[in-house]
Amino acid sequence: MKKLPGEILLHFAKKESRLVCGMMSGTSADSIDLAFCRIKGAGLPSKREKGAELVLQHFYSHKMPAFLADHMKNIPSLGVKEIAELDVQIAEAFAEAFKTGLEEAKLESDEVDFISSHGQTLYHHSRQEGVRSASLQLGNGDILSSRSGVPVISNFRVKDIAAGGEGAPLTPYADAILFKSSEKRRAVLNLGGIANITILSEDRNEIIGFDTGPANAPLDRLARILSDNSMDFDVDGKMASKGKVNESLLKRLLDQDLYLRLAPPKSTGFEIYGDDFVEKAKQLHGTFDYNLMATLLSFVVHSIHLAVETFVPKTRMFDELIIAGGGARNPETVRSLKEVFAPIPVLVSDTLGIPSFAREAMAFAILGNDAVFGLPTSLPSVTGAVAGKCLGSWSFPD
Would you give the end-to-end CA distance of the chain in angstroms? 13
217 has binding-site annotation: no
CA distance 107 to 120: 25
Q: How does DSSP assign 88-106, residue by residue?
A: HHHHHHHHHHHHHHHHHHT
With the C-alpha atoms ordered 200, 201, 205, 208, is the resulting torsion angle positive or negative? negative
The type of residue at 111 is E
- The length of the chain in residues reads 398
Angle between helix 216-226 and helix 275-285 axes, rounded to 10 deg: 70
Q: Strand, coil or helix: what is 253?
A: helix
- Classify burial at 300, counting beta carbons within 10 Å of its beta carbon; exposed 0-12, middle 13-18, buried 19 or more: buried
Contact 193, 28 (CB under 8 A): yes
Closest CA to 235 of 327, 299, 326, 330: 330
User: What's the angle, vertex CA 37, arms to CA 146 and CA 391, rounded to 5?
Assistant: 65
* Pair 365, 39: CB distance under 8 Å: yes
- Whole-angstrom distance, CA of residue 234 vs CA of residue 209: 27
Q: How far apart are CA 357 and CA 191, in angstroms?
A: 10
Cα 17 to Cα 13: distance, rounded to the nearest angstrom: 8
* Residue 108 CB coordination number (10 Å): 9
Sheet order of strands, 194-199 included: 208-214, 194-199, 186-191, 320-324, 346-348
* Residue 295 known to bind ligand: no
Flag whether 328 is marked binding: no
Residue 398 annotated as binding site? no
Q: Which of 166, 180, 88 is nearest to 128 (CA)?
A: 166
Query: Is 26 assigned to a binding site?
Result: yes
Residue 304: φ, ψ to 5°: -65, -45
175 known member of a binding site: no
Binding residues for ATP: 26-33
Binding residues: 26-33
